Structure 1
Amino acid sequence: MTETPPLVVDIDGTLTDESRAVDPRVFPVLSEWPEQVVIATGKAMPYPIALCEFLGIDYTVIAENGGVVFVEATDTLQIEGDKAACLAVAEAYRELGYEMGFGEVDLANRWRETEVVVNLSQPEEPLQRLAEEHGLEFLDTGFAYHVTDARIDKGTGLHAVCAELDREPESFLAVGDSENDAEVFEVAGESVAVANADETAKSRADRVTTAPYADGFLEAVEPYR
């Protein structure tokens, strides 16, 4: 059996099915993985923390596309990003007559500390234009539009995790499905895009699975099980 590497893995579209429900078959894989597991997501920090909690693994997470990094082993929280500029984009977007698209309570943005997200039901072009005007990054993850600081991404997040754990990013296996995974693919030693991944992720990956979604994740890690 090939030596098992540490793992950095996305959630939506990678550990889930098409409806964004986490596939229960991934639970034993992640909870029994013999090396370090890092959950890297565009979601706010409570989501990957909750996943780690219920998996029974250390809280080692990259949230908000690298804007928030928490490493339980060193009790370290890193928050990087120009939230004020992102909020300015959101305000300008609303002034044009658009909405975030998540309802009055807006759980998608409620706990965010470094970026804002907009529902895919809302117009893309004006949001992208406003992000560019403010010097920010616009990402379409396939699940939401993200406006975030261009200086941070999941790759910088993995570097931050590795600095805390005294590990090398090149030792990691990365699995994901979207353009927000492309940067972590660049710094990881091995990268795998699941079959439902967008073209940016596929072009940056070392290999692409034949199966989509969680089936693709299981295929990606099969050589190490």
Structure 2
Amino acid sequence: MTQFKIAFFDIDGTLADNELPHEMGILQRIPASAKEALRQLKQNGIEPVIASGRNHLMLREFAAELGVESLVASNGTQVLYKGAELALHPIDQQTLKATMAEFDRQKIRYIIETPERFLATSMEVATEDAAAKYIEYVKDIQELPQDVIQLIVRMEDRNYLQVENNLLIAEKVAPVVMDVHLAQVSKATGVHEILEKLNIQPEEALAFGDEENDLAMFDAVGYPVAMGNACQALKAKAKFVTKRVGDDGIWHACEMLGLVK
């Protein structure tokens, strides 16, 4: 079998059990067996990397406790290697303003995300969102930050989000959340940027995921693993389908591949 050198992990529904109450926090929703798997992978020379739709500010809170130093954050729009920024892919101002204007016209509520800040023009979104402690309520944004990497859209009663500009893509990251970012950027581009930095071949990389925004990442590695709770499209693309998160799915996959004991 290929000697793996690096493993990329999605968070929600992959490392963290989404079937547990979200009030518990991410770290508390990660099974002890998954934490032990990450520890053993690192011990065995396989670098664990978190690849998530979430911002690095959220990821850093618990990544250090998992022994993870590198992040593909915000769907690949920001990539950090051992704490230092490796890549950043902001949306250009013209595209951003036009998209926000269209969302405002359709009364679609959204959060503006930069690497260091979250802004919302809706008080309800600013206070009720899962990331509420990071979000600043701004009644009227006079000047947009230059480094906006995503618009986070709460779907509410919508099943679909149409983005008019083909420079952007709307990606489903949770049952009721879509992230809007540059179309040419994804978890896959972030994976490639880290592999290139470390001079690691794609066939030497694993990836674990559960949702549609992991599809591109699965194409970027040699051995994609879908969780038992993953969407069908991801299971179809996986080389191995493991158990559900809460049934020690991460540990089971690593054990089956002979990566942990």
C-alpha change, 1:114 and 1:216, in structure 2 (3 Å) is: same
Q: Corresponding residue for 2:158?
A: 123
Q: What SS does the aligned partner of 2:170 have?
A: strand
Question: How high is the TM-score relative to the length of structure 2?
Answer: 0.73
Alignment partners' CA distance in 2, 1:89 and 1:183: 24
Mapped pair 1:207 → 2:240: yes
Mapped pair 1:61 → 2:61: no
- Output one character per residue of 1:143-196: Cα deviation in whole Å (capped at 9) or x when no partner: 411111110111111110112222122211111001111111112110111121
Question: How high is the TM-score relative to the length of structure 1?
Answer: 0.84
Name the aligned partner's letter for residue 54 of structure 2. K
Q: What SS does the aligned partner of 1:195 have?
A: coil
Return 158-167 or 78-87, whichever deviates more: 78-87
- State the 1:86 CA deviation: 4.5
Name the aligned partner's letter for residue 181 of structure 1. D
Q: Corresponding residue for 1:133?
A: 165
Which residue among 20, 23, 30 is the counterpart of 1:23?
30
C-alpha change, 1:87 and 1:188, in structure 2 (3 Å) is: farther
Mapped pair 1:150 → 2:183: yes
Alignment partners' CA distance in 1, 2:135 and 2:71: 18
1:72-221 equivalences in 2 (<5 Å): 72=82, 75-82=84-91, 84=93, 85-86=95-96, 88-100=98-110, 103-105=125-127, 107=131, 110=135, 113-125=148-160, 128-129=161-162, 131-143=163-175, 144-209=177-242, 211-214=243-246, 215-221=248-254
Alignment partners' CA distance in 2, 1:32 and 1:113: 37
- State the 1:79 CA deviation: 0.4
The answer as to whether partners of 2:207 and 2:225 remain within 8 angstroms in 1 is yes
- Output one character per residue of 1:57-112: Cα deviation in whole Å (capped at 9) or x when no partner: 3x210011111100017x34310142643464244212322323862255378499
Mapped pair 1:44 → 2:52: no
Alignment partners' CA distance in 2, 1:187 and 1:13: 20
- Output one character per residue of 1:104-125: Cα deviation in whole Å (capped at 9) or x when no partner: 2553784994111112325243
Alignment partners' CA distance in 2, 1:118 and 1:216: 29
Runs of 4+ in 1 over 6 A off after TM superposition: none
Name the aligned partner's letter for residue 82 of structure 1. I
Identity over aligned pairs, percent: 27
Please, which runs of 5 or more residues in structure 1 have no aligned partner?
none
Q: What SS does the aligned partner of 2:180 have?
A: strand
Alignment partners' CA distance in 2, 1:162 and 1:31: 21
C-alpha change, 1:88 and 1:77, in structure 2 (3 Å) is: farther
Q: What SS does the aligned partner of 2:169 have?
A: strand
How many correspondences in the alignment?
Answer: 219
- Output one character per residue of 1:3-61: Cα deviation in whole Å (capped at 9) or x when no partner: 5542111000001112454324122221332311110000111122222212233x210
1:9-20 equivalences in 2 (<5 Å): 9-17=9-17, 18-19=19-20, 20=22
The answer as to whether partners of 2:78 and 2:85 remain within 8 angstroms in 1 is no
